[in-house]
Amino acid sequence: MRRTLMVLLIAASLGVAACASKPRQQDAPADAGAASGSGVDTAGVDDSAAAGSVAADDGAGVPGPQEGLLARRVIYFDFDSSEIRGEATEIIAAHARYLASRPGTRVRLEGHTDERGSREYNIALGERRAQAVRRALMLQGAADTQLSTVSYGEERPAAAGSNEEAWAQNRRVEIVYLN
């Protein structure tokens, strides 16, 4: 009986330890506007981003195109939605044309959400947003092999705060050129 109790106690301890979350590893930011640590570089985000438009990055040291619509690499979404807004269609079309004309170029579509909702729900919503942008790019000429998606959910906010302005900046897909 005592031996069984000891085995159960050890098994329960291992189970609890396995459920503990891992400390976050800091990746090198893929672009100049990527979040790092607990702060966020918002130098490339203009005030219209909070109003629900598409922002441009500053582009310093970032692979890929840096002019006109192609410099705009953040697609914003409405609350709890993965539907692409009308103002983002021109930006997506420009990136699709660029990718179609350069078959060796690859991008990663990073889906993000605001902090509202469970972690699991936000990961799924970020994935739906990234997939929506992926489908739009492919419909306009980008190849499947050029595109990868990842969802960070609420884990990499672009703006700190628990208000509508911050949440609006966090509901996004970032287009990150890899080469």
Residue 28 has pLDDT above 70, yes or no: no
Q: Does residue 17 lie within any of the structural domains?
A: no
Above pLDDT 70, what percent of the chain? 64
Residue 88 has pLDDT above 70, yes or no: yes
Residue 113 CA to residue 29 CA, distance in Å, equals 18
Model confidence over 117-143: pLDDT tens digits? 999 999 999 999 999 999 999 999 999
Contact 131, 84 (CB under 8 A): no
Q: Does residue 5 lie within any of the structural domains?
A: no
Domain containing residue 96: 46-177
The count of domains in the chain is 1
Torsion sign over Cα 46, 40, 63, 171: negative
Model confidence over 92-102: pLDDT tens digits? 999 999 999 99
Q: Does residue 158 lie within any of the structural domains?
A: yes
Query: What's the CATH number where 116 sits?
Result: 3.30.1330.60
Instruction: For residue 139, give the H/E element and its range.
Output: helix 119-139
Q: Does residue 82 lie within any of the structural domains?
A: yes
Q: Does residue 53 lie within any of the structural domains?
A: yes
Residue 22 has pLDDT above 70, yes or no: no
